[in-house]
Structure 1
Amino acid sequence: MNVNLKLNEYLTAVKDQPKPLIIPLCAELPLPDISPLDIYTGTRNGCGFLLESMEGSEKIARYSYIGIDPEFVVTIGKTVDVRGNERFTAIAKEPEGETPVDKIKSILSRFCYVNVKAPRFFGGMVGYFAYDCVYSLFEKVREGHNGIQQTAGNRASEDHDASFMLTKDCIVFDHAEKKLFIFSSPFLTYDSNLTEEYEQSIAKIRALSDRIAHLASGKNASETPKKASGKTPEYIPSVSQEAFERSVERVKEHIVAGDIFQAVISRRMVCAVKNDPFAIYAALREINPSPYMYYLDFGDEQVIGASPEMLVRVEKRRVTTVPIAGTRPRGRDAREDAQLTRDLLEDPKERAEHTMLVDLARNDIGRVCRFGSVEVGEFMGIEKFSHVQHIVSTVNGTLRDNLDCYDAFRSCFPAGTVSGAPKIRAMQIIGEEETQNRGLYAGAVGYIGFDRNLEFAIAIRTVIVKNGMASVQVGAGIVADSVPSNEWKETESKASAMLRAIERAGVSS
């Protein structure tokens, strides 16, 4: 088995480097005849993650990532809790900063790394920032408009503002190049035995390679979680249809008054579950394959999602966001499909909403990118998925020299597609209208690499399982001509894939 660095090359690369230090070791293999789901199923052992790209163009769906046995998990809420490998937790404790984003930056900045040629992500932190981070990131949202108290911003919540796991071992599928990468990165302190750490990582790579080969050949394969017995779940709604529609009317009054152009109002549904949450993910990827599929297992909480939309990517200081707005179903044949595409692109309402969101994305990226570097790489293209097609644009820019990936994240968070425009006033109205914290819904799920590349999807089409309960939250974008009953139906439609996945996986009796 060949690895990217021989022992002598590794020893030279780490010589005189500051510590603690991560240096990626990697084996490159042909892509096996087995899915990322099968590998994760056959290797998972407690906490870990699976980030899959099931559909979409190469620009958003090139890689899938698998992580098992993370070194630690950090949760940030009213307090910061770090649990896991003591070699790592000792470094991660007591992070500096006022916001969850600052604290995650503080933790990851304590790990130095050796730059090697690698895919977008080879190790680092994987997890989420909840929407409720807005109350620490934006003073005007926290304080409200004209002193109006924000129910969502002030209510005590058990939800975490952020949860991340740190991994130095990662399996990467490169779907474009048909390659598989197995990473295991030695973790070096000033008293480390360099050769011993190298040999341990090589042994880990070899063990994972052998395990994948066994899984691909059908030997010792672990079964996908099976459906548990039970009945159709009984969902507890956060708000009645009548109350939701009244909220829509109040938002429309704000639009008429000129406060905003749009705001996204959401509602939550909760039900009891008793089966393995991974069964929900296995069902969801069949029902609703998406560019951003994710299963995050934090031990006491599982996050299961099928997001169609990127929030932001920073790769080699290039900032990218891909606004999606405007939807039609796929046609029954090529002719009907083409007609639906034309209808979508010729719909003035869809074009106006999409243009507004592209302008918002340009503004978000422009705040952190070099003057003159922001460009719309693709405008109003069509991205086709298994069940729907969307209008998609791509906005790029080059990060300013004095800023970093966290600045890019802050500038884009939360997405305008799940908050509204203008963003600050829309978030204030969301805080006034919604009766409970959003939690993860409309936040961001993704990774931040040791190399400070990052990529996050918008946390929509997501199921959260915690304390034996599964929650699903969905929203509707309210504009001037919105019909309240139709907006309620839109939320029902958006929730359908997640609810079907929960039902297929099995629920409590």
Structure 2
Amino acid sequence: MSENGPYGVETLPQIMIDVPGAPAGCRGRRVERARLQWRPADGGDPATLAQEFLAAHRIALDDLARPGTHDPDGVCGAALYLSAAAGARAAGGAPGAPSPVPALPDLVVVVYGHTDRPAARGAEDRPGGFWLGDWRDSWTPRQHADAVAAVRAAIGRGDVYQVNLVGHAAAPYVGDPRPALARLAALPGARYGGTLSGPGWTIGCASPETLIALEGGRLVTRPIKGTRPATLAGRRELLASAKERAEHVMIVDLERNDLARVARTGSVRVDELFAVRRWCDLWQAESTVSAAPVDGLGLAALLRAVCPGGSVTGAPKLAALDRIAALEPVGRGASMGALGWVGAGQIDLGLTIRTAAADAEHLHLWAGGGITWGSDPAAEVAEAAAKAAPVRALLAAG
């Protein structure tokens, strides 16, 4: 079911670790100690398995209301990746179409310790040849627009209020894709820029969105919903758009409800609403929602409450997952899941938007947007293309 190991520093090359959300102060001193990889066929609940594996390696996350202390000489923490399909399974929702990247597990937990041995250059730092072929989309613009129309029809029937639709594209490559994927971290606004690798796969992330973090004793999520070109006119248009604001507020309410399931009564609050921030050549609207964790809240229960993220599913969440499973022809793979860092008293997981993945032969990329009754199919197709464009351009430059 799982892969556990390696168990010692001597079994691994000393490479630089650049996992999204990892503490910068330990960079160059982190070394992999143990690894768990899981797929749905293995059985069990991925959220519970993650918490148990971490506890077995001295990362106790069974009471997030209790402060923890980072040990600079012991276990540093762990990278955690949970796919959208695994998140849907943990939440009791439809998992969607099969992943186009079957080599990629649906749950990865990598525990890191500290070492005083100098780190060698990682593959992402080494020069090398790399060629990327043409991208091939898994649906045509017409099929994408038809899916938008189908969501609007479902909204008209009262089945859902909002659904996030995601498209996929793949391109063949030759060479080592890891340097190109590592460069995604340099994209402007990539709060969760970084990489994670395993046998036959690599994830490269340039996400600006916080799925869930533990900051100052409070759980924090920062949903992003609403996009315009990063021009003065685009900013004014985003701020004035009733459609974008209504879509955004709907997801903020969903995130408030998600946090309320694991929060102290009365502690959920919206700290910031509809702030406009920049990612590459786009303006995006972001809010901050926070809550105090209830006593005894563990990582597994938290993941079940917030995964998959509301901004990439819709409202109501389970009904939106049903629509997504019916309409998206290709699974979400590495996208729309969670990727980041956990440790003693630490949680910082980004939502894997603006994220690409490599298997042995292809690079894979996903992009989409939220659909409401006010959505225009052609505009939604264009928005998804605009979100994918900076990632495609940087990968092609590799």
**What TM-score results when the alignment is normalised by the length of structure 1?**
0.67
1:452: Cα distance to partner? 4.8
- Is the Cα–Cα contact under 8 Å of residues 15 and 122 in structure 2 kept in the other structure? no
- Is the Cα–Cα contact under 8 Å of residues 130 and 441 in structure 1 kept in the other structure? yes
Q: Output one character per residue of 1:411-456: Cα deviation in whole Å (capped at 9) or x when no partner.
A: 111111111111110001101111232222111111221x152111
1:281: Cα distance to partner? 3.0
Match of 1:228 in 2: 129
- Would you say how many aligned residue pairs link Structure 1 and Structure 2? 378
Q: Find 1:72's aligned residue among 20, 34, 40.
A: 34
Q: Which stretch of structure 1 is more off in the superposition, 69-78 or 370-379?
A: 69-78
1:391: Cα distance to partner? 2.4
Q: Which has the larger radius of gyration?
A: 1
Alpha-carbon distance in structure 1 between the residues aligned to 2:18 and 2:148: 36
Match of 1:471 in 2: 364
Distance 1:241 1:315, change over 3 A: same
**Where do residues 101-500 of structure 1 align in structure 2 (5 Å cutoff)?**
101-112=47-58, 116=69, 123-139=76-92, 141-142=93-94, 152=97, 158-169=103-114, 184=115, 204=116, 207-208=117-118, 224-226=125-127, 228=129, 230=131, 233-315=133-215, 317-331=217-231, 336=232, 340-385=234-279, 387-449=281-343, 451-500=344-393
1:152: Cα distance to partner? 1.9
Distance 1:341 1:240, change over 3 A: closer
1:346: Cα distance to partner? 2.6
Q: Output one character per residue of 1:314-335: Cα deviation in whole Å (capped at 9) or x when no partner.
A: 246521111222233334xxxx
1:125: Cα distance to partner? 1.9
Alpha-carbon distance in structure 2 between the residues aligned to 1:406 and 1:274: 39
Amino acid at match of 1:130: S
1:241: Cα distance to partner? 2.5
CA RMSD of aligned residues (A): 3.3
Alpha-carbon distance in structure 2 between the residues aligned to 1:493 and 1:154: 23
Distance 1:47 1:351, change over 3 A: same
Distance 1:78 1:411, change over 3 A: closer
**Where do residues 29-68 of structure 1 align in structure 2 (5 Å cutoff)?**
45=13, 49-51=17-19, 66=27, 68=30
Alpha-carbon distance in structure 2 between the residues aligned to 1:311 and 1:487: 23
Alpha-carbon distance in structure 1 between the residues aligned to 2:133 and 2:362: 11
Q: Which stretch of structure 1 is more off in the superposition, 405-414 or 63-72?
A: 63-72
1:307: Cα distance to partner? 0.3
- Is the Cα–Cα contact under 8 Å of residues 87 and 337 in structure 2 kept in the other structure? no
Alpha-carbon distance in structure 2 between the residues aligned to 1:454 and 1:292: 13
Q: Which runs of 5+ in 2 are unaligned?
A: 1-11, 61-67
Distance 1:394 1:101, change over 3 A: same
- Is the Cα–Cα contact under 8 Å of residues 48 and 297 in structure 1 kept in the other structure? no
- Is the Cα–Cα contact under 8 Å of residues 312 and 336 in structure 2 kept in the other structure? yes
**What TM-score results when the alignment is normalised by the length of structure 2?**
0.84
1:398: Cα distance to partner? 0.9
Alpha-carbon distance in structure 2 between the residues aligned to 1:330 and 1:251: 28
- Is the Cα–Cα contact under 8 Å of residues 48 and 70 in structure 1 kept in the other structure? no
- Is the Cα–Cα contact under 8 Å of residues 322 and 393 in structure 1 kept in the other structure? yes
1:489: Cα distance to partner? 1.9
Q: Which runs of 5+ in 1 are unaligned?
A: 1-43, 54-60, 81-96, 143-149, 170-183, 185-203, 213-219
1:158: Cα distance to partner? 5.0
Identity %, equivalent residues: 25
Alpha-carbon distance in structure 1 between the residues aligned to 2:366 and 2:320: 18
